[in-house]
Amino acid sequence: MTKPRSTSPTRRGLVDAPTVRAETLSAAQKDGRSCCWCSAWANERFPVPILRGSANLHACGTCAGAYGVPAVTA
């Protein structure tokens, strides 16, 4: 009998999201126009709360779904 892993999925935050390094982001990524992970067209409904400050990161729908980025409706 195998026990289920005790890691809780209820913690707030991103799940298994790759680290986003500000120095590797393109201008479009920092501007929220391109997905900060895959450089696809970003969806403005998925702001990525990883970097504070001047960066305005967003994710595409695919990455948002994969990494648990909550959608905003505003």
Binding site for Zn ion (CB under 5 A): 35, 37-38, 40, 60, 63
Contacts of 62 (CB under 8 A, 6+ apart): 35, 38, 40
Smallest distance, Å, CB 31 to Zn ion? 15
Q: Of 26, 24, 54, 53, give the one whose Cα is nearest residue 42.
A: 26
C-beta of 13 vs 46, nearer to Zn ion: 46
Smallest distance, Å, CB 15 to Zn ion? 15
Smallest distance, Å, CB 18 to Zn ion? 10
